[in-house]
Amino acid sequence: MATYAIWNNKGGVGKSYLTFQLACEYARTHPHEPVLVVDLCPQANSSGMLLGGIEAGERILDDLSSQTSSKTIAGYIEDRIRSPYVNPHTGSSYLTKVKDYNHDVPDNLYLITGDEQLEIQASRVLAATAPGPTDAWRIVHTWINDLIEDIQQVWNKTDTTVFVDCNPSFTIYTELAMSAADRLVIPFSADGSSRRAVRAVLALVYGVTRQAGAQQSQFFLNSQQYRLPIPQIYCYVGNRMTQYLSSAKAFKAVVTEIGNEIWAVWQNSPNVFHIHPPGAQTPSRRRDFVNMFQYEVPDANTASVVSSSLGIPIVALTAGQKTVAGRTVMVNQSQLERQQPNIQELVRNIE
Ligand SMILES: Nc1ncnc2c1ncn2[C@@H]1O[C@H](COP(=O)(O)OP(=O)(O)OP(=O)(O)O)[C@@H](O)[C@H]1O
Ligand SMILES: [Mg+2]
């Protein structure tokens, strides 16, 4: 059990969609464990899906964030801005049980909802990282760890599985997500800039530079200075590749390019990867490496739209006519079969 951040430095690659699907499927297959989603994105897209889909979820999000002390991530961050260096232990009061709002999700799924206020708070969070005490940077970067611990305490558990949805930009709240995460899931899509985005992830989080002597990211340097762990790469997920590329050859070329970037990091720093499942041999050949770390989640077309619009996890969605935003649409069994097994396989590989 661990905290998984779903992040890529690029927008629209499926971070929120995968957070929604993975958390729901993980909760379904682990019914005796509470499962937490922390939505650290001001757009709050995964919260919207979890809370019943784009429309219904939006209304609930508005309700939760309009309470006197927003029952969202922003409520907690406000507490921390007020008390940056002394843990107020208020985290669990911001928890939402997802099933209270969406009957299509498992009972054991909980959420700290995202909130657009995060964007407004960002400058004050950053201001708290310096000056303050000498280790102000470190303390602020453990706020989300504190939040998770507060929740574990009320659950009376020390070990839980947490999924953290992130904003694409490497802002202060994305840094907080990276510091809280044990493991990183990197979704990517097949459009031209995907390779650059994956390179950016490797540079920003792992200090991988393209030329010897080039400046490393401040996040990486500070994490080292303050001995704050950074997440290990758990997998990279080609998401929705078929949406952009019709030919299998073009698809393969993009995956190979991105695989090359990640393979190069593996060769220099295998310690930044998380070998899984438990007991698995450390890969020695490229093929074994790919088998361990590379996944694919195809586009499920209308089924995906229905799943995210109505907040019904893809694995729980059935074929047939559905109503989305007043329109009748058809979900085909073949669409479901294109994506359900891949989400299930990815979740089976999450410890
Ligand atoms: N595998 C998929 N099949 C079909 N549609 C998908 C899939 N993954 C994501 N989508 C859709 O693609 C769009 C972008 O996905 P999503 O919002 O999850 O991306 P993101 O990386 O979270 O974006 P942002 O950077 O804005 O937070 C959404 O409409 C989502 O429903
Ligand atoms: Mg998103």
Ligand 2 (single-atom ion) residues, CB below 5 Å: 15-16, 45
- 245 pLDDT above the threshold of 70: no
CA distances from 333 to 242, 243, 312, 326, 347 (A): 18, 19, 15, 22, 21
- One-letter amino acid at 258 equals I
What's the whole-number average pLDDT of the chain? 94
Q: How far is CA 147 from the centre of its chain?
A: 16
What is the reported pLDDT for 213?
A: 85
Question: Is the bond leading into 313 cis (omega within 30 degrees of zero)?
Answer: no
- Please report which confidence band the pLDDT of residue 82 belongs to, taking 50, 70 and 90 as the band edges: very high
Which residue has its alpha carbon closest to ligand 1 atom 8?
14
What is the reported pLDDT for 299?
A: 93
Interatomic CA distance for residues 198 and 9, integer angstroms: 7
Q: Which residues on neighbouring strands pair with residue 238, listed in sequence order? A: 188, 296
- 240 pLDDT above the threshold of 60: yes
What is the reported pLDDT for 21?
A: 98
Among 8, 17, 242, 346, residue to substitute to test ligand 1 (most atoms within 8 Å of Cβ): 17
The response to whether residue 119 sits with its C-beta less than 6 Å from ligand 1 reads no
The response to whether residue 299 sits with its C-beta less than 6 Å from ligand 1 reads yes
The response to whether residue 338 sits with its C-beta less than 6 Å from ligand 1 reads no
Show Cβ contacts of residue 222 under 8 Å, excluding neighbours closer than 6 positions. 137, 138, 141, 228
Mean pLDDT computed over 284-300: 95
Which residue has its alpha carbon closest to ligand 1 atom 30?
17
- 67 pLDDT above the threshold of 90: no
- Please report which confidence band the pLDDT of residue 243 belongs to, taking 50, 70 and 90 as the band edges: low
| 154: enclosing H helix or E strand | helix 143-155
Which residue has its alpha carbon closest to ligand 1 atom 25?
11
Atom from ligand 1 closest to the CA of residue 41: 27
Interatomic CA distance for residues 15 and 213, integer angstroms: 32
Task: Say how many Å lie between the CA of residue 15 and the centre of ligand 2.
Answer: 5
Which residue has its alpha carbon closest to ligand 1 atom 16?
14
- 37 pLDDT above the threshold of 80: yes
- Please report which confidence band the pLDDT of residue 253 belongs to, taking 50, 70 and 90 as the band edges: confident
The response to whether residue 309 sits with its C-beta less than 6 Å from ligand 1 reads no
What is the reported pLDDT for 69?
A: 78
Q: How far is CA 8 from the centre of its chain?
A: 9
Using a cut of 0.95, tell me whether the model's pTM lies above it: yes
What is the reported pLDDT for 327?
A: 94
Task: Say how many Å lie between the CA of residue 211 and the centre of ligand 2.
Answer: 31
**CATH code for the domain defined by 3-348:** 3.40.50.300
The response to whether residue 12 sits with its C-beta less than 6 Å from ligand 1 reads yes
Ligand lying nearest the CA atom of residue 241: 1
Domain ranges of the chain: 3-348
Task: Say how many Å lie between the CA of residue 13 and the centre of ligand 2.
Answer: 8
What is the reported pLDDT for 248?
A: 73
**CA dihedral angle for residue 83, residue 119, residue 131, residue 180, rounded to 10 degrees:** 70
- pLDDT tens-digit map of 108-165: 999 999 999 999 999 999 999 987 788 999 999 999 999 999 999 999 998 999 999 9
**With 0-12 CB in 10 A as exposed, 13-18 as middle and 19+ as buried, what is 298?**
middle
The response to whether residue 296 sits with its C-beta less than 6 Å from ligand 1 reads no
**CA dihedral angle for residue 51, residue 76, residue 230, residue 199, rounded to 10 degrees:** 60
Which residue would you say has higher pLDDT here, 21 or 351?
21
